[in-house]
């Protein structure tokens, strides 16, 4: 049995091997040739399971993808910008499908002109030898490795090697890719390739590249496990400059990376039922640019066209971090409701950033309690219950609900009946207060003074954590 077939057997469920064979047969039926390529082959040879298949077709890739999706009852998605398609196969994985391309770079760092070409040209346009291998899915040649640049040897020796001397001038995003693969696999960029990178850095090629493309590479680097290694390497290559000319990897940044790792590891090990999928890269980006001023951070978000929600999280962290650390690190008792008031509405990424940044163990503990306990406390009481108790719906509902939730957080009410009793009492008190009578002493906030603006609605008893957008 040949190498690829053995590897497929070992690395994948039988269904995946069948899928690859079927894909090859379908291509032949349509008069095309199909190849698996790129990272998929690299990972296959490394024995790393990767259920994202990169496929190229000598032929009309889009017609092929539509047909494949139909035959496999998959979900077909067309990517207009790239002229490629993805077929999602439920419970198995995804197949990215493109035509075999010949690329011509008319200007350095600009997007190339693309046309259909043979598989050999398609491999030549790729970034590194280890990513420039393919195997035919055609039954007659199934499992034959196409390896014109000796990628398999480099893979064995742990080497990242560019395919030609203009590689980083043609496409400077490859600088980030080289570092990412080097650090991910503990490989090394071979000396000539490193020199090519240094030359491209010296020529400031990255500055001539579309910022959105660089942003995607930055996100990929920061999405790696423990991205500090790759960031260190970029710093060595003097290529953190692309984010901001003043950005340096100081010791304080390194220890902040480590604290972020710890905070994320803690979050991964919590057993909370409604766990938020965190954008870890965003946390690491906040760490990396922590030393820059809020104005610079805003500029970076604009220049790199980060999504509004991501930019809002970065700015929110920067704006609130010192205040939150100060209030939550105060010695002495802070009631759960007070901790809740301070943290409610912050996205989880921002809270993890607060945890990583604060030097106060007390503040960190309070944030942990918020994430694991307070954020999950819900009222059993509903808007309808208040109406049934004779209350007229109106803006005051929101405040009554808030106060009742605080009472529950502080253990002053437990059952639904107690919640209702408390709400009714609060309502009476509210009426009295409006008439300028008594004022309760034990509340740490002003009644009716919603500092956060719009938070919740009269019928929204189940306080979620979304939607603060307070940046």
Burial class (CB in 10 A: 0-12, 13-18, 19+), 337: buried
Closest residue to ligand ATP in the complex (CB): 39
Tokens of 407: 């009472």
**Euclidean distance between CA atoms 133 and 152, whole angstroms:** 8
Distance of CA 83 to the CA centre of its chain: 24
Binding mask 139-178 for ligand ATP (x = CB under 6 A): --------------------------------x-xx--x-
Q: Which one among 38, 93, 151, 172 touches ligand ATP, defined by CB under 6 A?
A: 38
Q: Residue for token digits 């219950």?
A: 385
Q: Which stretch binds ligand ATP (CB under 6 A): 63-71, 124-132, 233-241, 412-420?
A: 124-132
Nearest approach, Cβ of residue 378 and ligand ATP (Å): 39
Under the binding rule (CB under 6 A), the answer on residue 101 touching ligand ATP is no
Under the binding rule (CB under 6 A), the answer on residue 54 touching ligand ATP is yes
Nearest approach, Cβ of residue 202 and ligand ATP (Å): 20
Query: Quick one: 214 or 334, whose CB is closer to ligand ATP?
Result: 214
Compute how many residues bind ligand ATP; rule: CB under 6 A: 10
What residues between 172 and 211 interact with ligand ATP by CB under 6 A?
173-174, 177
Query: Quick one: 127 or 290, whose CB is closer to ligand ATP?
Result: 127
Q: Which one among 8, 32, 53, 127 touches ligand ATP, defined by CB under 6 A?
A: 127
Q: Residue for token digits 């002495």?
A: 332
Query: Quick one: 213 or 387, whose CB is closer to ligand ATP?
Result: 213
**Euclidean distance between CA atoms 249 and 234, whole angstroms:** 10
DSSP characters over 17-29: HHHHHHHHHHHHH
Query: Quick one: 177 or 408, whose CB is closer to ligand ATP?
Result: 177
Tokens of 245: 């000319």
**Euclidean distance between CA atoms 162 and 165, whole angstroms:** 7
Bridge partners of 53? 95
Q: Which contiguous run of DSSP H or E holds residue 262?
A: helix 251-269
Query: Quick one: 304 or 317, whose CB is closer to ligand ATP?
Result: 304
Under the binding rule (CB under 6 A), the answer on residue 39 touching ligand ATP is yes
DSSP characters over 383-436: HHHHHHTTPPPSTHHHHHHHHHHHHHHTTS--SHHHHHHHHHHHHHHHHHHHTT
Q: Which one among 69, 86, 131, 320 touches ligand ATP, defined by CB under 6 A?
A: 131
Tokens of 219: 């996100």
Report the interface residues with ligand ATP, using CB under 6 A: 38-39, 54, 126-127, 131, 171, 173-174, 177
């Amino acid at each position: 049995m040949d190498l690829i077939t053995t590897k497929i057997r070992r690395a994948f469920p039988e269904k995946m091997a069948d899928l690859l064979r079927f894909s090859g047969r379908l291509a032949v039926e349509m008069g095309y040739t199909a190849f698996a390529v790129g990272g998929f082959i690299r990972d296959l040879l490394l024995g790393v399971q990767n259920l994202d298949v990169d496929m190229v077709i000598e032929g009309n890739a889009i017609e092929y993808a539509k047909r494949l999706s139909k035959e496999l009852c998959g979900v077909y998605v067309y990517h207009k910008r790239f002229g490629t398609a993805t077929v999602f196969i439920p419970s198995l994985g995804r197949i990215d499908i493109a035509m075999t391309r010949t690329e011509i770079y008319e200007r350095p760092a600009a997007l190339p002109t693309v046309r259909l070409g043979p598989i050999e040209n398609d491999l030549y346009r790729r970034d590194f030898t280890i990513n420039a291998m393919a195997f035919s899915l055609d039954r007659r040649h199934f499992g034959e490795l196409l390896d014109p640049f000796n990628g398999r040897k480099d893979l064995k020796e742990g080497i990242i090697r560019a395919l030609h001397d203009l590689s980083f001038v043609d496409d400077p995003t490859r600088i980030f890719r080289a570092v990412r693969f080097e650090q991910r696999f503990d490989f090394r960029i071979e000396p000539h390739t490193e020199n090519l990178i240094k030359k491209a850095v010296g020529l400031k090629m990255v500055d001539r590249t579309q910022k959105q493309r660089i942003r995607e590479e930055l996100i990929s680097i920061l999405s790696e496990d423990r991205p500090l290694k790759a960031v260190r390497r970029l710093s060595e290559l003097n290529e953190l400059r692309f984010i901001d000319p003043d950005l340096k990897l100081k010791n304080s940044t390194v220890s902040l990376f480590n604290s972020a790792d710890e905070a994320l590891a803690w979050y991964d090990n919590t057993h909370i039922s409604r766990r938020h999928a965190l954008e870890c890269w965003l946390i690491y980006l906040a760490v990396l640019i922590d030393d820059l001023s809020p104005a610079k951070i805003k500029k970076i978000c604009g220049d790199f066209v980060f999504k509004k929600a991501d930019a809002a999280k970065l700015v929110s962290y920067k704006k609130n971090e010192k205040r939150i650390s100060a209030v939550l690190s105060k010695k002495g008792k802070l009631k759960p409701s007070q901790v809740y008031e301070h943290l409610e509405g912050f996205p989880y990424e921002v809270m993890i950033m607060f945890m990583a940044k604060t030097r106060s163990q007390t503040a960190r503990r309070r944030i942990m309690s918020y994430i694991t306990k307070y954020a999950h406390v819900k009222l059993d009481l509903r808007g309808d219950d208040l109406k049934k108790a004779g209350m007229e719906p109106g803006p005051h509902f929101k405040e009554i609900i808030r106060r009742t939730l605080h009472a529950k957080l502080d253990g002053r009410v437990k059952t639904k009946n107690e919640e209702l009793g408390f709400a009714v009492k609060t309502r009476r008190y509210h009426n009295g207060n409006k008439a300028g009578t008594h004022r309760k002493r034990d509340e740490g906030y002003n009644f009716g003074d919603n500092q956060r603006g719009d938070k919740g609605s009269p019928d929204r008893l189940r306080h979620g954590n979304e939607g603060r957008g307070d940046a």
